[in-house]
Amino acid sequence: MAETTYTVEGMTCGHCATSVREEVSELEGVRQVDVDVESGRVTVTSDTPLTTDAVAAAVTEAGYRLVA
């Protein structure tokens, strides 16, 4: 199992968190996605480490931006 925390810019509410959670959850191997809107942190637990590009693409699809 791998757990990685990312920072996402632009989330302001529960709907934002749901959008990001749904998109990132669709990535292969993802087991759990925890979103903290206040801090902008998204913690992803997956079977194997994910590429930052894959997570960034999912976050972008949700309408937000992954901060490096």
Q: Domains, the chain, ranges and CATH?
A: 2-44+53-67 (3.30.70.100)
The span from the CA of 60 to the CA of 10, in Å, is 11
Q: Averaged over 17-34, what is the pLDDT? A: 98
The span from the CA of 43 to the CA of 21, in Å, is 10
Kindly report the pTM of this predicted structure: 0.94
Q: Tell me the pLDDT tens digit for each residue of 35-51.
A: 999 999 999 999 999 99
pLDDT of 66 over the 90 cut: yes
Q: In percent, how much of the chain has pLDDT > 70?
A: 99
Residue 1's alpha-carbon distances to 9, 21, 24, 25, 49, in angstroms, are: 26, 18, 16, 15, 8
Q: What average pLDDT does the chain have?
A: 97
Residue 12's alpha-carbon distances to 15, 38, 42, 44, 56, in angstroms, are: 8, 7, 13, 19, 18
3-state DSSP assignment of residue 68? coil
- The predicted structure's pLDDT at residue 54: 98
